[in-house]
Amino acid sequence: MNSAPLFLALRYLRPTRSFISVITVISMLGVMLGVGVLVFVMSVFSGWQREFRQMLIGFEPHAMVQPMNSRDDAPQSPDWRELRKTLAARPEVVSAVPVAEGVVVVENEGNLQGVSVIGMADEADNGLLQKLRKHLKEGKFDLQGDSIVLSDKFARDIGAKIGDTLVVHAADSVNQFIRQVREIPEDTEEKKRAEALDNVTVLSKDLTLVATLRADTAGLRGYVPLHIAQEFFNLESNVSGIELELKDPDNAEPLMDAIYRSGAIPETWGWRTWMQEHGMMLESVENQRTMMWFLLLFIMLVAAICVMNTTITVTVKKRREIGILTALGTRAWQIIAIFVSQAGIVALFGVVAGLGGGFFFLSIRNNLRDLISKLTGRDIFPQDIYFLSSIPAHTNLGDLLTICTTAVALCLMAALVPAWFAARVDPAVALRDGG
């Protein structure tokens, strides 16, 4: 009798040309849709989160040690060279490189655009330089002369090619120029106005574009030699900070905290990591992933309600059979097991079909994106926002187990209520009504 509930559940699921078969198929399709969509969306979000982290690690400084008074107009600590030696000797640190960072305005054939740049020396032990060279698209990454390296997107926006000479202006100097021009009264005589404008200067240098980096993997930042950046940002012989490449960048924060607590970093200096720099973006991706999980869970709830409706319909249609089974001595838990088993079978078939559908659409996700973009005329995964040329995907086993378990559990709980009411039916009433 122990196998009787499963036998009857399979018997009730046999395809027949009846309303019950139709709603059973609809319930199975609902579970399939819920599981498939969750698998697809969670895999894409996990892949994007993973690729974004790897991309940041691949071009962002793992950590930056900076003087607290890092403003351009404030005096800086003169001991950065000794600090660099101390940090470079740490076992957690791969390389320690002095850098100068800020914003410049690049001009080419009348096109002006601002860009964030990092100035650094072209040294053999420069870990940041070595990993940036992996993103080289064209040219040679050379920071020894009057050169500049830009992203391919930025170079394309200003119409620059390898070998072009670009006029690079210090952003602070441009802002000061604008302020000085505005201070000249409009009613000033033309001659005096021209003399006043002659006294207004902008710090500019002609730099040669020697290389471009892939914007989708290395971001939009530019790179110049250290001495040029020091001149642009009024640092003289000082630096904006010391960039550190770590052996374990995924644990950058605890590593830097340990280094700071050890006294290797003076109290007048602070530090930040790549995770802190992009923490809001990383947190936003995680929050979106969690929110999407809860929103898509409603599809699963609708599927569970469909399973409940199927169970209610079956229990009503099989009321006479239930009465006969009860009269023959079948216990209430066995009646419940029949219909819960039926819901479980529907859920399992839906889960398997949903997994297959989800993985199928994951395999053609980029083709699907291109098709949608072609039909709608809109890019649904723009590279300038996500910095990735293709839609990433990574499926976690934990996510799969959670999705499948949730789907089956919801269907079983949905079927439990009508099954419980069916098991409480009076045999005499059921036989009379069913007859």
Predicted confidence (pLDDT) per residue in 162-209, tens digit: 999 998 888 776 666 555 555 556 655 565 555 555 555 667 889 999
Report which residue type is found at 270: G
Span of 257-261, 264-268, 431-435 with lowest mean pLDDT? 431-435
Higher-confidence position of 69 and 379: 379
State residue 89 phi and psi, 5-degree precision: -80, -10
Q: How far apart are CA 183 and CA 206, in angstroms?
A: 28
Per-residue pLDDT, 117: 92
Output the pTM of the full model. 0.66
Render pLDDT for 73-87 as a digit per residue (tens, 0 to 9): 444 454 788 888 889
Handedness of CA 390, 395, 396, 402 (dihedral sign): positive
Per-residue pLDDT, 368: 86
Cα distances (Å, whole numbers) of residue 53 to 216, 217, 271, 367, 384 = 13, 11, 20, 24, 17
> Quick check: 252 and 273 in contact, CB under 8 A?
yes
Choose among 297, 310, 296, 320: nearest CA to 344. 310
